[in-house]
Amino acid sequence: MKTCLFLVVLVFLVSIEAKNVCRFPKTWKAKYDFDYKKRPSEWATTNTKTDFYKLVLSWTPSFCKDLPTAQRNRTFQCQYDDFGLIVHGFWAQSRTARTLKNHPRNCRDDKQLPLLTIKRHFCMMPGESLIQAEWEKHGTCSFRTGEEYLNTIERLYSQLIIPDIKQLLRDPRVDQYKIKKAFLDKNPKLGVKQMIVYMKGKELVDIKICYDLKLNFTNCYR
């Protein structure tokens, strides 16, 4: 019995470790602060309460494929085959939102996160600007600090067992239902209405998993 328990714990720890091992940039950005006021496509929604969260997991090959060549070549995440399903963000959501702009967003401006914090979470979210932007756009609406926001994401991400996405996508019959089933099989506590798989044809774009305010799985729909 003790041997079996040890093996279960070992597998769990190895899965966490595997998600936190990746290649780092040779040099880090000096400036990666985010200011939504300088971006015409951004807005602030500060008077809407958070009802639940979406953990957004992005499939790197599809993300990189859709970038213009010049941008792809300077995006670290796209330069190596180290990254598969990464965390794009953890979004505060409103059940009463009728449009995208009704969800909590850019609730306050914050200073640039310490580089040490960026490095600590880089394998999960491989980009200095990505981490900073997601914290300011989405994290500031529900969390006191960037560290609290990122540590929460890291904990939730580490609890998920990710199926072999590459293997699934090799199947010519693959669709969102097959990918969803693979996730549900690996994560028995996750319900069919508690995740959303988005694909363009046979290409996986992202997976969204929903959590209530106590960070338990919850229905993504109203």
CATH number of the domain bearing residue 85: 3.90.730.10
Q: Which of 88, 121, 136, 154 is catalytic?
A: 88
CA distances from 48 to 22, 92, 102 (A): 37, 10, 7
Structural domain contains residue 59: yes
Lowest mean pLDDT among 77-81, 126-130, 134-138, 186-190: 77-81
Residue 96 lies in a domain: yes
Q: Quick one: pLDDT band at residue 213, thresholds 50, 70, 90?
A: very high
Active site residue 121: no
Provide, rounded to the nearest whole percent, the portion of the chain with pLDDT above 70.
91
Give the active site residue among 103, 121, 128, 138.
Answer: 138
State how many domains the chain has. 1
Query: What is the tens place of the pLDDT at every residue in 88-107?
Result: 999 999 999 999 999 999 99
For residue 26, being part of any structural domain is answered with no
- Answer yes or no: 134 catalytic: yes
Task: Confirm whether 7 is domain-assigned.
Answer: no
Q: Which of 103, 121, 128, 134 is catalytic?
A: 134
Residue 81 domain flag: yes
* Residue range 24-74, pLDDT digits in tens: 999 999 999 999 999 999 999 999 999 999 999 999 999 999 999 999 988
User: Residue 45's domain spans which residues?
Assistant: 35-211
Active site residue 88: yes
Judge if pTM exceeds 0.75. yes
